[in-house]
Amino acid sequence: MKSRRKFLEKLTLSAISLPLLPGSNLFAADEDPYEGPILKVAIMGLGSYGTRVAEAMQTCKRAKLVGVISGTPTKITAWQEKYGIPEKNCYNYENFDAIKDNPDIDAVYVITPNALHKDQVIRVAKAGKHAICEKPISINAKDGEEMVQACKAAKVKFLVGYRMHFEPHTVEVIRMRMAGELGKIMFFQGLSGFPIGNPDQWRLNKELSGGGAMMDIGIYSVNGARYMVGEEPIWVTAQETKTDPIKFKEGIDETIQFQMGFPSGVVASCLSTYSMGNLDRFFLNGTNGFAEMQPSTGYGPIKGRTHKGPLEEAIVTHQTLQMDEMSAMILEGKEPLVPVDGEEGVKDLKIMDAIYLAVKSGAKIILKA
């Protein structure tokens, strides 16, 4: 118990041991009003997830929604009315470079289709604003690397929407693994999938998505394997199954099973799918114990158990916690437990590139350091 307390204090996440009601955020337990710097954020892409982030930000203490960027004028008008966004902080996809001259915006959260991320993040960086980008950060690692370099050249932060890196149940499992409470890690299983609906949506359009389930839900198992095991994979193998070639056209993967090997000998077995539900599950097995999470990456509440019993961490709104923590990273230099920077996004893309290559070639793909 003492080691856990020290660990959480080190992360400045000790508040996760406080009881919170479902839907509340980490900082809601603070009695003293927050008087520190506020990250002023514009959201680019006002779809369903952009809306979820906007709603979550209403209870942020360290971040505030102040602007919007959209190609749909009616959405801009609706958001202005709902969130009190001034006209001077509203832009479209053609003119948003003008944020360079707007001191009321510190950062832009890019929540658009995958294939649009590269150009948009680079433009945000050139405008001198910090960039937060949904995952995957682009459609391949080469593009991701160019985005990282552009942000470095512009001397702005580049963060990725890895909300699970802050989620209390996830943090506790990582703490247990780091503290040796699971013993030597031997195996990880990640199951990520759901039956996708509308066949006309952008996620099933390769020009916009860059792929199918792997480029949407599969990244959770790729990224989750890395932070749960605590190592970087050195090889991958993968197999694709397609039962509906009409809905899942060429270049849009329906289901991919993939395996990863790690330097210590840990093996991961994962599944990414657009045709099966009830698969939001992580399982981490060690010589002295285990951790199981189901749901493991959904919007909540996250649930889990270990060999010691149920995980009973705080229930939080993931995006509220994420944005408050990212504010602290951008404005105060705080370091997260698990990285959420652009380089982290590139690492995932390199693995995903290798998975697609393994599917195509049938070979074991060795990952370069």
Report the C-alpha gap between 160 and 227 in whole angstroms.
Answer: 15
Asked if 220 is an active-site residue, the reply is yes
Catalytic residue, candidates 91, 109, 220, 274:
220
- Known active-site residue 109: no
What's the full length of the chain, in residues? 369
Pairing mode, if any, of strands 107-110 and 185-193? unpaired
Question: Contacts for 223-227 with beta carbons within 8 Å, 24 or more apart?
Answer: 223/135, 223/162, 223/164, 223/344, 223/348, 224/164, 224/188, 224/190, 224/192, 224/282, 224/296, 224/297, 225/188, 225/190, 225/260, 225/268, 225/270, 226/347, 226/348, 227/164, 227/165, 227/170, 227/174, 227/338
Instruction: Please tell me the distance from the alpha carbon of residue 306 to that of residue 269, in angstroms, as a whole number.
Output: 19
Q: Which residues are catalytic?
A: 135, 220
